[in-house]
Structure 1
Amino acid sequence: MGDLVLREGPLTGTKIAVLIESDYYEPEIHYYQRRFAEEGAEVHFLTRLWGQDAITFTGHEWRVPFTATESFEGLSDEELRSYAAVIVPSGMVSDRLRYTEDVEVLAPAAEFVKRAFEQPSVLKGIICHGFWLLATVPETIRGRKVVCHNNLVGDVRNMGAEYVDSDVVLDGDDLVTGRTGQHAHLFARQIIDILVDRKAAQGGAA
């Protein structure tokens, strides 16, 4: 897919990270790619590159190729804080990213998301089966209000979260969750609104 042309918008100068792997849900990922850019934001798709410069993944619905060139591994706290939001998408992405060679060591993606939860300035977005990635770091959502795919309600409750039956749920000012990939437009709308409000509160600073 060709590079998208950013336009000036309320989120100009804002960076949003979206995790990516194979079996991604094309309608969701392609929507984020365009919708956030429409508001002026830079969208960075991060993955585990396994020492390579790039990896081409395929989508779940139509096997559409998607080439990722950016990794979440090795990012400093300062680099992590440069993202206004970190999104864990729907589908099989989080199941693939939660693989670890040593079961006594957190998967790099789980470690990255855990670090994001430690940064209140970073808005966290988890949708649908994205909660799979948080299974080994349940403390990140313990006591928090969330929504997830119906198949994962037991999982999030076992992680100590409070399930809320709504398409999109905002808990505090740093966690947005969505029911399924089919609700990506509502989920993204909530994220955009929060980031626009934050930027306005900061006087428009990026």
Structure 2
Amino acid sequence: MTERQLEGRRAAVMIGPLFEDVEATYPYHRLREAGASVELIGVAADTALKGKKGEELRTDSAAADVIADDLDVLVIAGGFGPDKLRTDAGVKKLVREMNDAGKPIAFICHAGWVPVSAGIVDGRRVTSYPTIADDLRNAGAEWEDAEVVVDGNFVSSRRPDDLPAFMRALIEVAVGAEEVVGAR
């Protein structure tokens, strides 16, 4: 793999209040390192949000102002932020549009709540932090306890320790690799 596999691609990391710090910053920097232009999106634009561990990040755009045509990749950071993100109509609309377009949607830890609320997990294989496994199953997903699960355009992982595998799989999905770790 070359270092700039995502050159010319547009990506976003979605965050909410009290996001898991490393689940936002690691994907942000890894996507940039792979050549993508990356923005931070949330419920509102130009808003400072603090992570659970104190990292402060400022959103570039509100999800309601972004459409799937604006992005090639979406990452949803975990932590407590997804509980707020999942109630926002703009967030749910963007996530549904990304899914309808078959574009990569990556979510880690508690971020699985967002695609649940967007109504797009039924019949899909996913993983998450174990405490939300029932939420995913109740929404129709097939939940697995695995470092990373890839199902089509979905890339999901459980926790910060899974970030290296999570990002490797996401980048492979984004460049269209045929053989992806964790795929069916």
Q: TM-score, normalised by structure 1?
A: 0.78
Q: Alignment partner for residue 37 of structure 2, among 25, 36, 42?
A: 42
Q: Who is 1:195 aligned against?
A: 174
Identity of aligned residues (%): 25
User: Structure 1 pair 34/136, CA: closer, same or farther in 2 (3 Å)?
Assistant: closer
Q: What's the secondary structure of 1:135's corresponding residue?
A: helix
CA distance in 1, matches of 2:127, 2:117: 18
User: Unaligned stretches of 5+ in structure 2?
Assistant: 178-184
Which structure 2 residues correspond to residues 53-72 of structure 1 after superposition, within 5 A? 54-61=46-53, 63-72=54-63
Q: Who is 1:104 aligned against?
A: none
Q: Who is 1:114 aligned against?
A: 96
CA distance in 2, matches of 1:157, 1:87: 21
Letter in 1 for 2:155: V
CA distance in 2, matches of 1:35, 1:44: 13
CA distance in 1, matches of 2:137, 2:61: 33
User: Unaligned stretches of 5+ in structure 1?
Assistant: 1-7, 101-106, 199-206
Q: What's the secondary structure of 1:115's corresponding residue?
A: helix
Q: Who is 1:83 aligned against?
A: 71
How far apart are residue 108 of structure 1 and its match?
2.1
Letter in 2 for 1:12: E
Q: Alignment partner for residue 10 of structure 1, among 2, 5, 14?
A: 5
How far apart are residue 183 of structure 1 and its match?
1.3
Q: What's the secondary structure of 1:136's corresponding residue?
A: helix
Larger-Rg structure: 1
CA distance in 1, matches of 2:139, 2:61: 30
Say whether the 8 Å CA contact 1:143–1:160 is kept in structure 2. yes
Q: Alignment partner for residue 126 of structure 2, among 135, 146, 166?
A: 146
CA distance in 2, matches of 1:68, 1:82: 16
Q: TM-score, normalised by structure 2?
A: 0.87
How far apart are residue 96 of structure 1 and its match?
1.5
Aligned residues: 175
1:103-128 deviations in whole A, cap 9, x for unaligned?
Answer: xxxx32122212221111x1111211
1:104-159 deviations in whole A, cap 9, x for unaligned?
Answer: xxx32122212221111x11112111122233333x11111111111011111101
CA distance in 2, matches of 1:36, 1:145: 24
Once superposed, what is the RMSD of the aligned Cα atoms?
Answer: 1.8
CA distance in 1, matches of 2:107, 2:24: 13
How far apart are residue 90 of structure 1 and its match?
1.1
Q: Who is 2:15 aligned against?
A: 20
